[in-house]
Amino acid sequence: MSLIPIQNLASQLEPAWAFLSGHERHFEPTEVQPPRAGEREHRVVLPVKLLDGQRLIAVAVILDQDQAEAVARFMFGQPEGEINEADLQDACLETCNVLASSVIKGCENPNVIDIGLPLEVSAEKYLDLQSHAIARVTLMSEIDQEHRIVVTVFDVNDQSVLES
């Protein structure tokens, strides 16, 4: 599966984020980003298999708490401070689906894939994914060194890191 050039990928993520949150954000290529200690972040991973079963990728999304709440409020039309955990988790899972679809639809042959279900993972599980996969591309949008959104596409060597 060939991914589109990184600049085109960033331009695909930007309207997807605006759709999810109602706000525009710019995404830039960066190094793979680990979870940040001491911050509440949501990490969601979407496994994607080639139908021949020979290659597994994972599209991983990290959202800080503020960004996750902003998406949930926009998605469910709720005012600030009224987001319950179930809505927050649903919003994070849907964010991963939408951002991952931006990656997938730009692939050379998107008809040869099987898309799994998004899974929210712990910081430890995310670090395990990083150590058992090859990061192919990472894009990040961050305002004032906070309000972080990170999208990484991994080639996964060990499928067990995607199992709960």
Residue-wise pLDDT tens digits, 91-136 = 999 999 999 888 877 665 655 678 889 999 998 999 999 988 988 8
Q: Please determine, for residue 25, whether its predicted confidence score (pLDDT) is greater than 80.
A: yes
Homologous superfamily in CATH for domain 6-18+44-162: CheC-like (3.40.1550.10)
pLDDT at 52: 65
Average pLDDT in the 6-18 region?
Answer: 84
Q: Please determine, for residue 19, whether its predicted confidence score (pLDDT) is greater than 90.
A: yes
Confidence of residue 152 (pLDDT cuts 50, 70, 90): very high
Domain residue spans of the chain: 6-18+44-162
Residue whose entry in the numeric block shows the structure tokens 């090859």: 134
Residues 6+ apart with CB under 8 A from 137: 3, 6, 9, 29, 152, 153
pLDDT at 1: 44
pTM of the model: 0.89
Report yes or no: 118 and 69 within 8 Å, Cβ to Cβ: no
pLDDT at 5: 63
pLDDT at 51: 64
Report yes or no: 123 and 43 within 8 Å, Cβ to Cβ: yes
Residue-wise pLDDT tens digits, 37-83 = 777 899 999 998 876 667 788 999 999 998 999 999 999 998 877 78
Nearest residue to 44 via CA among 90, 75, 106: 90
Q: Whole-angstrom Cα distance, residue 63 to residue 142?
A: 10
Q: Please determine, for residue 3, whether its predicted confidence score (pLDDT) is greater than 60.
A: no
Ranges assigned E (strand) in the chain:
28-29, 41-50, 56-64, 113-115, 119-121, 133-143, 146-156
